[in-house]
Structure 1
Amino acid sequence: MNIGDEGAEALVDGLRGNTTLKHLVLTPDSAGITNTGWAAFSRLLCDTSSINNTYRSNHTLEHIGDDYCYMSNPDGSGKLFLSGDAYSGECFRGIPPAIVQYLKINKEYHSLQDAATIKIGRCHPDIPVEVFFEYKLKLLPFLVSWFVGFGTRERSNCQNATTREFQRRELSAVYKFIRGMPMLAVDGQIQMRLKSSCGRKRKFDE
Structure 2
Amino acid sequence: VIKAFPIAAFNNDSTAVIFDATSYFSGSNKDILDIKGLSAEETVISNVDYQSNMSYINDVEAYSRNVSVNSEITMKLTLTSRLIGLELTNKPELTVGITTSLTLLDQDKMLVRLADARIGTGYYRFTKFNADGGTKNDYFASRWKLEPKDPEALKRRGTSEPVKPIIIYVDTLFLVITFFLPLKILS
TM-score band, normalised by the shorter chain?
Answer: under 0.3
Higher strand proportion, which one? 2
Structure of larger gyration radius = 1
Higher helix proportion, which one? 1
User: Which has the higher relative contact order, 1 or 2, with Cα contacts under 8 A spaced 6 or more apart?
Assistant: 1
* TM norm structure 2: 0.22
